[in-house]
Amino acid sequence: MTDITIDFETFYSDKYSLGKMQVVPYVRDKQFKIHGMGIKVEDGETQYFTHMDDIGSRLHDCFSQGNASTLIAHNTPFEGLVIKYHFGLTPAVFVDTQSMSRGCFPGYSSSLKQTAINCFPDGSIRKGDELALSKGHRDLTEALEEILKGYCINDVDVTRAVYNLLKGQYSEEELYIQHMFCRMYCDPVLKLNKTIVRNHLAALELEREAIIERARILIGDENIPKTTSHFLGSPKLFPTFVESLGIRVPTKISARTGKPTPAFAKSDLAFQKLQAAYPEYKDLWVARLAVKSSIEITRSKTLLESTLKSNLLPVPLIYSGADNTHRASGTGGINLQNLGRTSPLRYAIEAPAHFIIVVTDSSNIEARMLCVIARQDDVTEMFRQGIDTYCVMAEEIYGRVINKKDNPDERFVGKVARLSLGYNAGGPKFGDTLRTGAAGQVVDISHSEANRIVYEVFRPANQKIVDLWETAESWIEWMANPKSIDEPLTHMCLEIGHKKITLPSGMALRFPKLRQVAVETQYGEKHQWQYWGGKHWVGIYGGKLVENVIQALSRVAVFTQMVEIDKYLIENKLGRVAHSVHDESVSCVPKSEGQHVANIQEEFMRQSPIWLPELPLDAESAIAKQYEKP
């Protein structure tokens, strides 16, 4: 493979820029124009081209069909998409130094400017800021073109220097994951059924208009100074009107200001209680939520602007997007990581003609991982034998036989207990999770019953998990101890070192500037561990650390399986992995191979990782023309 480091300089203005637009509409826009391209082959001298014929010729030399070239860039989804959309070329391998930066410096900006600061604290290498001089200039003067040339060449050189420094921090497997994510975006295979999206959007907007109209009638035109939507969304007008009805406005403590603020969010328990207490104003409550929560409408509109030719849909994923667990996160204004289970948008994602989508999900992997790491062997054995542990948990809660078919509500409570209480959640949080429907279903449960389940049922029955929280507290203390630099602790597949925990993949959970401070709580002063998250201090304790570790290990296991699946499919000409959602591997394969590939993927995803052979895994698949969950 030949390393090719590239940076494009393109026209931008106040309204037309990557700061105001998503990548796909920016690249497709008629205003799109390349001012110049910097290119470096291996560690050679960086060249700069401004004429489109020269740029195209150079790119064809590097990335023509059958090429053996690796594209390296900072924000490779952009450079890669430009190369694909405007020149019809696809690099053999993608490397993104922005992804590398996220993995190594969690909590910090992954911009090239900040990455250079993090990588070269001595100031020897820095990104320039001359780009701003070209803003709004579609045609460059000779002097401005020369300035932009120097700026671009420096960006290429900085990107290459970052790559040379950070590549040793990543295994081949992790680099392959970054490659897959870039390929999903720059060379997509899934398509968007725009008819489904347009119909869904139209229905949403009609429903929203009807909801707001009912609220307008209830409020009265004389009380609405501007529009009904503005009134419903106003942080002053809406609460004032609620008070005028003789209703006490629910409040909560703002996470941003630390002061009381009206609680009218969908997940606010106080607002849920208010809605139940005043059903005669249902139209008002529903309208408030409709105005403040328009995610589905916004996502539908953005999806319609996010396709390439033939309605191919770039899949936008951020490598190591979740701080400190290295899980992927969604982006691009569409966040395909959290589509509703029954949302038409999910079914609008389709395979091309003669192909099919195979989705394989790793079943309960976090719960399984937690039990093994905690050595909660009795529950691990249940998983190994294929016993429904959610039903078992529900039986312990209700004291009677529970099965999935006849007792779905009780099983759901058992499921939430098994999945959430393993991370030291207390009775109040467990109760709020059920009462607010945060886990997907609203359950009316008393405070005393929630406390009973936590303190009298779950914890006594899962003592090894409880013990792990205490063990994790000792890990935090050790990470803060300078002795941990030379004397790391080990726990199964983990290495607990100085302000970090190293995973089997070589990646690490990092806790920079780890410290213990005194904080005031409702129970008085207590000592709390904190680490610097890049913008603010983040609290950490045993249960939270256990959650971070389990999520990170689950991510390593699933992504390893995804890499193996992708390589197998490509080698055997059976398609490739086209998307990744949490614990799912989503492949696009020939229609005739759907069941065969599902069997293969399940086999891969049932294999215990070599670094934790005692972990029992299971998987299930869905095979369909559209994206469906198993």
Q: What are the pLDDT digits (tens) for 412-441?
A: 999 999 999 999 999 999 998 898 887 788
- Mean predicted confidence (pLDDT) in 142-161: 97
- Mean predicted confidence (pLDDT) in 59-64: 96
Residues 213 and 165 in one domain: no
Task: Say if CB 5 and CB 72 are below 8 A apart.
Answer: yes
Percent of the chain with pLDDT over 70: 99
At residue 522, does pLDDT exceed 70?
Answer: no
Residues 83 and 121 in one domain: yes
pLDDT band at 100 (very low <50, low <70, confident <90, very high): very high
At residue 251, does pLDDT exceed 80?
Answer: yes
pLDDT band at 334 (very low <50, low <70, confident <90, very high): confident
With respect to residue 494, please indicate whether it lies within any of the assigned structural domains: no
What is the 3-class SS of 513-540, one letter each residue? Answer: CCEEEEEEECCEEEEEEEEECCCCEEEE
pLDDT band at 409 (very low <50, low <70, confident <90, very high): very high
Residues 226 and 138 in one domain: no
Per-residue model confidence as pLDDT tens digits over 203-219:
999 999 999 999 999 99
Residue 612 tokens read as: 């934790």
With respect to residue 565, please indicate whether it lies within any of the assigned structural domains: no
Cβ neighbours around 60 below 10 Å, total = 14
With respect to residue 601, please indicate whether it lies within any of the assigned structural domains: no
Q: Name the one residue in this structure whose structure tokens are 């070599």.
A: 610
Residues 130 and 198 in one domain: no
- Mean predicted confidence (pLDDT) in 128-154: 95
What is the 3-class SS of 447-503, one letter each residue? Answer: HHHHHHHHHHHHHHHCHHHHHHHHHHHHHHHHHHCHHHHCCCEEECCEEEECCEEEC
pLDDT for the residue 283? 92
pLDDT band at 525 (very low <50, low <70, confident <90, very high): confident
Secondary structure class of 10 (helix, strand, coil): strand
User: Crossing angle for the helix pair 408-420 and 365-374, nearest 10 degrees?
Assistant: 50
At residue 448, does pLDDT exceed 90?
Answer: yes
pLDDT for the residue 270? 87
Residues 151 and 49 in one domain: yes
Residues 26 and 124 in one domain: yes
Residues 28 and 157 in one domain: yes
AA identity, residue 380? T
Distances (CA, A) of 511 to 49, 105, 318, 469, 503: 43, 10, 21, 17, 14
pLDDT band at 605 (very low <50, low <70, confident <90, very high): very high
Residues 156 and 214 in one domain: no
- Mean predicted confidence (pLDDT) in 135-142: 94
Read off the CATH number of the domain in which 94 is found. 3.30.420.10
Per-residue model confidence as pLDDT tens digits over 259-269:
888 998 888 88
At residue 323, does pLDDT exceed 80?
Answer: no
Q: Name which of 103, 167, 177 is nearest 507 in CA terms.
A: 103
Contacts of 366 (CB under 8 A, 6+ apart): 419, 550, 551, 554
What's the chain's average pLDDT?
A: 93
Residues 72 and 200 in one domain: no
Distances (CA, A) of 279 to 51, 249, 300, 509: 66, 15, 31, 47
With respect to residue 485, please indicate whether it lies within any of the assigned structural domains: no
Task: Say if CB 494 and CB 549 are below 8 A apart.
Answer: yes
Q: What is the distance between the alpha carbons of residues 510 and 483, in angstroms, rounded to a whole number?
A: 17
With respect to residue 380, please indicate whether it lies within any of the assigned structural domains: no
Domain limit, last residue, from 251, 275, 299: 299
At residue 444, does pLDDT exceed 70?
Answer: yes
User: Crossing angle for the helix pair 97-104 and 112-119, nearest 10 degrees?
Assistant: 50
Domain span at residue 80? 2-169
Per-residue model confidence as pLDDT tens digits over 531-576:
988 778 899 999 999 999 999 999 999 999 999 999 999 999 999 9
Residue 142 tokens read as: 């000779």
AA identity, residue 494? L
Task: Say if CB 550 and CB 366 are below 8 A apart.
Answer: yes
Residues 150 and 224 in one domain: no
Listed in sequence order, the DSSP H helices in 220-342 are 228-233, 237-244, 269-277, 282-292, 295-304
- Mean predicted confidence (pLDDT) in 41-45: 96
With respect to residue 619, please indicate whether it lies within any of the assigned structural domains: no
Q: What is the distance between the alpha carbons of residues 189 and 352, in angstroms, rounded to a whole number?
A: 7
Residues 14 and 125 in one domain: yes
Residue 450 tokens read as: 């929630």
Q: Name the one residue in this structure whose structure tokens are 């007792």.
A: 407
With respect to residue 277, please indicate whether it lies within any of the assigned structural domains: yes
Residue 409 tokens read as: 């509500």
Q: What is the distance between the alpha carbons of residues 609 and 249, in angstroms, rounded to a whole number?
A: 52
Domain limit, last residue, from 269, 299, 329: 299
Chain centroid to Cα 443, Å, comes to: 27
pLDDT for the residue 20? 92
Domain limit, last residue, from 299, 314, 347: 299
Structural domain total, the chain: 2
Q: What is the distance between the alpha carbons of residues 578 and 350, in angstroms, rounded to a whole number?
A: 11
Q: Residue 396 burial by CB count (10 A; 0-12/13-18/19+): exposed, middle or buried?
A: middle
pLDDT for the residue 339? 86
pLDDT for the residue 284? 92
Q: How many CA atoms lie within 13 A of 345 on its CB side?
A: 24
Residues 235 and 285 in one domain: yes
With respect to residue 628, please indicate whether it lies within any of the assigned structural domains: no
